[in-house]
Amino acid sequence: MPGRAERLLELLQALRGRRTPVAAATLAQDLGVSLRTLYRDIQALRGQGADIAGEAGLGYLLRPGFTLPPLMFTPEELDALALGARWVSRNGDVALAEAAARAMVKIAAVAPKDSGEFLDAPTQLVPAQRDPGRENEWMPRLREAMRAARKVALAYVDAKGAPTRRVIWPIAVGFLREVRMVAAWCETRAALRHFRVDRIDALEILSERFPRRRRALLSEWRKAEGLSA
């Protein structure tokens, strides 16, 4: 049976993964503890500063803004984090690569000192970096537009090599093996479409916001593509 510190961490992670209140009985079952223990652990987390809303019988929800204190990572978790960061540094644009490096420095600062050289001498390797082409120019701006839910005007070259201009609502970027694809609502086609980032000639973030929520558009796209929720 896990120790109390590990159990509290598991409870905190379970709460962080929920967007709606979750019943105490569900949490207790998922964690393999009694309701009495679950209630005590909720109070312990609150005592450590976690802003947990709710009460017995109504369910619990961790409000945004709670920052995790320095925590223990398992060797597998450290390997996974290092592998992900290394992949991003080799396959992302410059801004993402630099962000991955900064994130790993922060993780290394709170990781156990005896956790191994997961950062300097990783055991999980990734292929050599691909040529990003003009993606370094467009990817940060596409992410900016998605975060702000702002429309984007594109000068674009279609599959036949013909230049075209589109206004899109970018909702997601796919990191495919050879190309980067933007999933977006296209105002010209009045439908969801995909655009290759390497075929963008010019990009302007417009002042207009999406008239619909990005999450709803993303859900529609996933359904149209036959992807799980």
Q: Write down the pTM of the prediction.
A: 0.66
> Residue 218: CB partners within 8 Å, gap ≥ 6?
171, 172, 183
Per the CB < 8 A criterion, the answer to whether 82 and 90 are in contact is no
Q: Where are the beta strands (DSSP E) in 42-199?
A: 52-55, 59-62, 150-157, 163-175, 180-186, 191-196
Residue written as tokens 């992302």?
92
Q: How far is Cα 14 from Cα 41, in angstroms, rounded to an integer?
A: 12
| CATH annotation of 4-62 | 1.10.10.10
Phi and psi, residue 162, nearest 5°: -90, 135
Tell me which DSSP letter residue 34 carries: -
| CATH annotation of 135-224 | 2.30.30
Whole-number pLDDT of residue 1: 45
Q: How far is Cα 79 from Cα 87, in angstroms, rounded to an integer?
A: 12
User: Residue 205: what residue type?
Assistant: I
Q: What is the pLDDT along the chain (229 residues), one digit of tens a residue?
A: 456 777 888 888 888 878 788 999 999 998 889 999 999 999 988 887 788 888 777 889 988 766 555 556 777 778 888 888 888 888 888 888 888 888 887 777 666 666 556 666 667 777 766 666 777 889 999 999 999 999 999 999 998 999 999 999 999 999 887 889 999 999 999 999 999 999 999 999 999 999 999 989 999 999 998 886 5
Q: What are the extents of the domains in the chain?
A: 4-62, 70-129, 135-224
Spell 172-211 as b/e; 16+ CB within 10 A means b: bbeeeeeebebbbbbeeeeebeebbbbbbeebeeeeeebe
pLDDT digits (tens, 9 = 90+) for 42-71: 998 888 778 888 877 788 998 876 655 555
209: left (phi over 0), alpha (psi -120 to 50) or beta: beta
Q: What share of the chain has pLDDT > 70, as a percent? A: 86
Q: How far is Cα 151 from Cα 207, in angstroms, rounded to an integer?
A: 7
